[in-house]
Chains A and B, each alone.
Chain A
């Protein structure tokens, strides 16, 4: 089995929510918001390399990628992000660089919790920032998933359901099959081989479980008049401690998945793309220097990729902190000069028409979160 086929089978998940509560929904903007949660810590320096920073080359000798798209004299774009690059060229995407949620302790569990809750102390909130914002915008409702992710949980009850007519479950799962093969011999093994052949044949069949397939489904559902307004797509496996690779490495494969999600969302949303904003979140970036296993460890600042028809001008929004050792966070990580909550607030503002003051007070409970709406969207 090829690596890309294996990656297709990596469990991704989709949560559609924010179905309008008819009669209750406030008369706010009818935008759509999709959050792509990059679990494991996406390497912003790899996705959007600061090619103009001279310290990059010495820190990443084995991980440098040569085929980046030159965005401007300073920044480049990773070769896996082909759809995203096209969107940048047509002013449908933008990048925020050197950004992170205010969390510096490098734990996945705590970091993921902060990404979802949007508060400063891990495990101190039972609701997510997106859920609270949906309540504020009056777009609470049902969650199209087996369980409701913390990110979209608000204070009021969210009904969860999963449509049973989704097809695709007739194809056997390769992990289960491997487990069965290791347990049985003889006739049972032959049956397993038949199933293996069926998996191979099903590679051309319509897909359901991979992030790209889920993104098309999400887009088509969100296009409907009374469809969901919010979707959360998880893309796991960004934690590349070893063999991060260059053009063909593991991190590049994962960025390709993210890029396909962007392309698929645009295709699925159709005309609704014009009223949509899609952003990536991740718990932290990765260290500037590569480690002894040609990978990178948990860091701090990363990059946020934003796309959608609500963007009017492409750009790289940043207060670039620099990569010289004296400019790094604790001498090892990219500093985050932009609070990721400011980016989320700007996206909530553009999608739902909420006021910045209202967002920082009621969603993030921190009035110090700055407004960078103009830098991103105008």
Chain B
């Protein structure tokens, strides 16, 4: 009989705990249901509107906020369901009205390079010849037909070298069509690394186009540690140095880039 009050006390504690727990659970259940019901009206699927917090609800909520560029003050978590529900209710009104808006675009450079297959000149793995500076240089771009060995000049012009990087100046293309000096000036990215290895890329017009014909866009020629062509005959005096590089174009022609600079 003495233990009765104790049992009563324990029973009371258990009952109160169950009551509190069910009250909290019901409250959370209602709040999660509120979030799910809100999201189900949008394009972000929270799964069934059953009051049970799951991965689908959390992901839908995260995507919704991200799509509308909203910063939620509350962390996306089951225990914060009440606060999240209140925050969402504040956004509910404009959703009902038609909403034509512009969603910003954030393209990551690395993704774009992978997507287009065209890389920006990455100097991190290149030992650039930073000591190389030349300001009086000339170049020739030619093509050699593989079968006939004929060499035809496509372009010529001026360039300078600033800390190993080639900068094209005035230039002239004989190919007609779209070819003009801006392509080399704006799109070429060439740099000398150790021992005059050539790295980077240039636009290259590989066909002669007569008036009235449809012009061709240039090919993009990549150089990756390209060595100079030692078979090329050199008849240059001591004041001028020359470097000649060959590059693959297609099955019937190879390209030749001839660089000459007056020694400083």
Residues on A lying within 8 angstroms of B by beta carbon are: 50, 52-55, 67, 69-75, 77, 79, 82, 85-86, 88-89, 94, 165-168, 204-208, 213-214, 216-217, 220, 263-264, 267-268, 313-324, 327, 337-338, 370, 372, 375-376
Contacts and interface: CB of A to CB of B under 8 A. Distances in A.
A54 B44 contact: yes
B150 interface: no
Given A82-B116, A89-B105, A206-B207, 7 more contacts: A75-B103, A206-B214, A315-B102, A315-B104, A317-B100, A318-B101, A318-B103
Contacts of B106: 71-72
A337 B103 contact: no
A264 B207 contact: no
9 contacts: A50-B43, A54-B44, A167-B212, A314-B105, A318-B103, A321-B43, A322-B42, A322-B43, A376-B102
A355 B111 CA distance: 40
Given A216-B178, A375-B100, A375-B101, A52 B63 contact: yes
B66 interface: yes
A52 B67 contact: yes
**What 9 A-B pairs are tightest by C-beta distance, nearest first?**
A322-B43, A315-B102, A213-B214, A73-B66, A69-B115, A206-B213, A316-B103, A319-B100, A89-B107
Contacts of A52: 44, 63, 66-67
Contact of A82 (B43, B102, B117): B117
Q: Which of A69, A263, A316, A372: most chain B CB closer than 10 A?
A: A69
Contact of A318 (B42, B100, B177): B100
Interface string B182-225: 00000000000000000000000001011011111100000000
Given A85-B115, A85-B116, A327-B43, A168 B102 contact: no
Given A206-B209, A319-B99, A88 B105 contact: yes
Contacts of A318: 100-101, 103
Contacts of A204: 207, 250, 252
Given A213-B214, A268-B178, A85 B102 contact: no
B45 interface: yes
A372 B117 contact: no
B54 to A, nearest CB: 14
Interface string B89-111: 00000000011111111111001
Given A85-B112, A86-B112, A204-B207, A54 B45 contact: yes
A167 B99 CA distance: 50
Contacts of B45: 54-55, 324
Contact of A69 (B44, B112, B207): B112
Contacts of B66: 52, 73-74
Interface of B: 42-45, 60, 63, 66-67, 98-108, 111-112, 115-117, 177-178, 207, 209-210, 212-217, 250, 252
Contacts of A372: 100
Given A71-B105, A314-B105, A327-B43, A82 B212 contact: no
B107 A316 contact: no
A86 B100 CA distance: 25
B43 A89 contact: no
Contact of A337 (B98, B117, B217): B98
A54 B42 CA distance: 12
A75 B43 CA distance: 13
Contact of A267 (B101, B103, B105, B178): B178
Contacts of A217: 214-215
B103 A315 contact: yes
B203 to A, nearest CB: 10
Contacts of A322: 42-43
A79 B115 contact: yes
Contacts of A316: 102-103, 105
A324 B46 CA distance: 12
Contacts of A88: 105, 107
A364 B14 CA distance: 74
A118 to B, nearest CB: 20
A168 B213 contact: yes
B77 to A, nearest CB: 20
B115 A267 contact: no
Contacts of B209: 206
